[in-house]
Structure 1
Amino acid sequence: MLKDLDRLMQKYEVDAIFAYGSAFEVPDIYWLTRFRSPDDIGVFQQKDENLIGITGLNTLDRLKNESIVENTYDATDLYMELITSGKRLTDNPERFWGKILGEIFDGKTIGISNALPAYLVIGLQKLGYDVKAVSDLFLEGRATKSKRELELIKKAGDATMGAISQVIEFVKETDVGPNKTLMHNGTPVTVGAIKLSLDHFLIDQGAESAEDCIVAVGEKGFDWHYLGNPEDKLKAEVPIIIDVFPRLKRERYIADVTRTIVKSTVSKKLRDMFEAVYEAHMASVDALTAGVQIDEINMACYNTLRKHGYKSRRLDPETKDGMTHGLGHGIGLEVHEQPSTYDRDGHFEVGHVITIEPGVYFEGFGGVRIEDDYAVTTGKATHLTKGIDPFVFL
């Protein structure tokens, strides 16, 4: 959370933090300011002092009126100097930032994230500052969510569940045509049509696809990040993985939900996969609480799958089938944030939000994945994405 910044600067041994860019492209900027703008701005905060937003011209008034930034630096004169000289900020960043930092900063070490442009890093170093890459400082701060952030992730989750639900209702009404192709009014149902339907619903809910969404039919679901060719046709009797991870257009926060649906006959092999994946999902959720070591929920999942006869890459590194990806990841302003289930020795904290998404996959057949989002508390984790049965048999 933002209130942790002073503690994190102490932990990472920096005198200040600096970020630069557009809130639409650099999540740290939005997190620090809540300023929705395509314009690049600078954000600077010294330890034990308030954050300063740095910009000029028309952007300055918008920053003052449309963000949570209380202190600003008016760089209009410096921008005008660039404009009249025909130069760009990238031509001489030392001139621009040297004047600003000389007025607002009396320290030595500046912490930056990996998103800071290289020309700015070089410029800061030429000015004599010790520039320290501390992306984990920003990520760690963003990992623990405030009450407001939790509410926004749930809002994104509600939009996600609604989008998937309307696809389920649509598929339920389809007919099975030649070659087990799903048909609607005599026309084959394509992945492209499903994605378009998801996008339209999300837009109506004030959300949008963060990058894309996954609609993987049958054996193509073996590649668990296969997005789906728009021309792929939906089929009966095979697993169809639908993984939707939209962003709220205004508030910028993301949810991430997966359901696997099967239309018509469900084979014993598929039922067994669903039951094992769901049991592994719930075993992980039951173990998820503040203070628990991250690897405990990993092992709860993998041991459950092993009990059902399924391998995991963690316990069986050479396997090509079974569960071949991690258990989950943090979400927030990005689809993948801290905490990560690959951080085995880490511990969960109150305010962490994580996906739990076990899956089992077989080459030439496809896979089953069930994913929901959870907020970590001192007790049982809070389920943020409720409303769709994990067994979607139509």
Structure 2
Amino acid sequence: MREDLDRLMEERGIDWLFIEGGNGDNPAMHYLLGNAPIGYCSLWKPRGGRAYLFTGPFEREEAKRLPFIAVDTTKYNYHELLEKEPDHLKRAVEFIRRMMADVGVKGRVSLYGRGGLGANYLLYRALDAAVSEAHIEPEFENDMIITARETKDAEEIDHIRRVGEKSCEVYAQVRKLLGSAAERGGKLFGPDGPLTVGVVKRFITLELFKRGLMEDVGTIFAPGDEGGYPHSHGTDSRQLTVGEPIVYDMFPRELGHGYYFDMTRTWCVGEVHPEAERDYELVKEVQADVEGSIRVGERAYAYHKRAADLIAKAGHPTIISDPASQVGFCHGLGHGVGLDIHEKPRLGGTEKNPDLIQPGGVFTNEPGVYYPQKGYGVRVEDTLCITPDGKMQNLTPEPKALLIPLG
């Protein structure tokens, strides 16, 4: 949680954290700024102290509304630098050096945020050489902000819960769309012609937008054999058919680069696919078993193994029995959800995975089995949370029936 940042800085020997890149599509910055409408900015926070938020003059009033020390970067006279220094890299280094000197940055500095890899590499290597009282030493794995974000406070959980409620509303509208289709020769038709994957996806996008949600890389709506590949998004031109299983995985977030939600259902329209029905009942049972067994303080990997063991017992290959398997249960059980769609904790990997189920954790429970050569895959996914007081809640109030009747 955010309240853990100073403790984590102390434990990791970090004197200052520096977040760069503005508040758009930048989870590290959004974590501290929330939905504040601020574009390009940078934030410096000393261990145990109040953070400084550096913005240009256009956003100085927005910055003053936040619980930080607002600094207008006009005072560092970038126009003078433009006149005196023709080299862009040297100008950028000097501009940041002036910020650091102004607020007294010393000791170890760790970096967070977004930007171009090549440009950032050159910039911070040059900056490290240019300052004598501070040294740039980022973290490589499980950095401090990612670690803090692994557990959410009540306000963050409420954000995710609201996205989940709106997501379930969209699922209900898609069910109505599919159930109202006309069937001719085994093919499905809508009021404007063939009911294709692309038609449904455009409907989903509009329904999300109506509710203040957005997609990042689209939605998975994968019928038949395409659903047998866990992250196949489906071919837009493909027309839906009666009885063909559809894997519908939606992972929207709040407009304005906010919190995500993740859920999946598998549907057959008009009639069920016998093999898919058998396997869907299995994954529903496995999902319910895992959900009922979750306990605070246990290792996240244990639930992945529990799911894999149950699926293997039913005769399917799993990623544990064969890490190279591309059929059966061939992915991890779940992942954390927050300002990124995939966060800690990781419910997968190997026994070396150290992640724990903790109060404030928000994560998915998504067993599935996949057989593209048989023309189907099935998955069911809910997002769960452990409230800060240690109670588990399912944030996904969406029915799990496989069949959508026609008419």
TM-score by length of 2: 0.90
Following superposition, the deviation at residue 174 of structure 1 comes to 1.2
For 1:300, the aligned partner's letter is R
- The alpha-carbon deviation at position 46 of structure 1 amounts to 0.9
Shift of 1:87: 6.4
The question of whether the paired residues in 1 share the 8 Å contact of 2:38 and 2:59 is answered with no
2:75 aligned residue: 77
> Which residue of structure 1 lines up, in the alignment, with residue 138 of structure 2?
133
Report what 1:223 is aligned to: 229
1:248 to 244, 254, 270: 254
If asked which structure has higher relative contact order (CA below 8 Å, sep 6+), I would say 2
Between the two proteins, what is the percent identity of the paired residues? 25
State the secondary structure of the residue aligned to 2:124: helix
Shift of 1:57: 1.2
Find the counterpart in structure 2 of residue 375 from structure 1: 385
Question: Which ranges of structure 1 fall in alignment gaps of 5 or more residues?
Answer: none
Match of 1:93 in 2: 92
1:185–1:99: structure 2 CA closer, same or farther, 3 Å change rule? closer
Q: Is the 8 A contact 2:85 2:91 kept in 1?
A: no
AA paired with 2:274?
A: K
Conservation of the 8 A alpha-carbon contact between 2:168 and 2:396: yes
Displacement of 1:86 in angstroms is 8.8
Residue 82 (structure 1) shift: 4.7
1:107 to partner: Cα distance: 2.3
Cα distance, 1:44 vs structure 2: 0.9
Q: Deviations over 1:245-293 (max 9, x none)?
A: 1111147111111111101221331121111111111122122232011
Find the counterpart in structure 2 of residue 120 from structure 1. Answer: 123
Select 2:155's aligned residue among 148, 173, 176. 148
Alignment of 1:177-216 (within 5 A): 177-178=184-185, 180-185=186-191, 187-216=193-222
Q: Does 1:264 align with 2:273?
A: no
Deviations 1:181-213 (A, max 9, x none): 211237210111111111111111111113211
Distance in 2, Cα, partners of 1:216 & 1:50 = 48
1:369 corresponds to which letter in structure 2?
Answer: R
Within the alignment, does 1:64 sit opposite 2:67 as a pair? no
Equivalent position to 2:395, from 362, 366, 384: 384
Q: 1:335 matched to which residue of 2?
A: 341
SS in 1 for 2:325: coil
Question: 1:167 maps to which residue?
Answer: 174
User: 2:228, 2:378 within 8 Å by CA — same for their partners in 1?
Assistant: no
TM-superposed CA distance for 1:142, in Å, is: 1.1
CA distance in 1, matches of 2:371, 2:194: 26
Indicate conservation of the 8 Å contact 1:222/1:366, yes or no: yes
CA–CA distance in structure 1, aligned partners of residues 157 and 381 of structure 2: 18
CA distance in 1, matches of 2:302, 2:341: 23
**Per the alignment, in what secondary structure is the counterpart of residue 296 of structure 2?**
coil
Tell me if the contact between 2:27 and 2:113 (Cα under 8 Å) persists in the aligned partners: no
Shift of 1:47: 0.7
Which residue is equivalent to 1:290?
296
One-letter amino acid of the structure 2 residue matched with residue 118 of structure 1: Y
Contact 1:27 1:334 in 2 (8 A): yes
Q: Give the superposition deviation at 1:6.
A: 0.6
Q: 1:133 to 1:86 in 2, by over 3 A?
A: closer
Please identify, of 34-43 and 257-266, the stretch whose mean Cα deviation from structure 2 is larger.
34-43
CA distance in 2, matches of 1:214, 1:120: 38
1:258 is paired with a residue whose SS is strand
Which of 321, 346, 356 in structure 2 is aligned with 1:347? 356
Letter of the 1:370 counterpart: V
CA separation in 1, counterparts of 2:92 and 2:82? 14
Q: Contact conserved, 1:330 with 1:353, CA < 8 A, in 2?
A: yes
Partner in structure 2 of residue 366 of structure 1:
376
Secondary structure of 2:249 counterpart: strand
Return closer, same or farther for 1:390/1:350 CA change in 2, 3 Å cut-off: farther
d(CA) in 1 for partners of 2:284 and 2:64? 48
In the TM superposition, residue 316 of structure 1 has moved relative to its aligned partner by: 2.5
Q: 1:171 to 1:380 in 2, by over 3 A?
A: same
Q: Across the two proteins, how many residue pairs are aligned to each other? A: 391
Cα 1:37–1:253 change in 2 (3 A) is same
- Structure 2 residue ranges without an equivalent (≥5): none
| CA distance in 1 between partners of 2:26 and 2:183 (Å) | 46
The 2-side partners of 1:190 and 1:380 are apart by 42
Counterpart amino acid of 2:180?
E
1:84, distance to aligned residue in structure 2 (A): 6.1
Aligned counterparts of 2:259 and 2:2: Cα–Cα separation in 1: 16
Contact 1:24–1:36 (CA under 8 A) maintained in structure 2: no
Matches of 1:257 and 1:289 in 2, distance apart? 21
What is the Cα deviation at residue 81 of structure 1? 3.3
* Worse overlay, 286-295 or 180-189: 180-189
1:104 aligned partner: 103
Instruction: Give the drift of 1:358.
Output: 0.9
Partners in 1 of 2:30 and 2:197 — Cα distance? 33
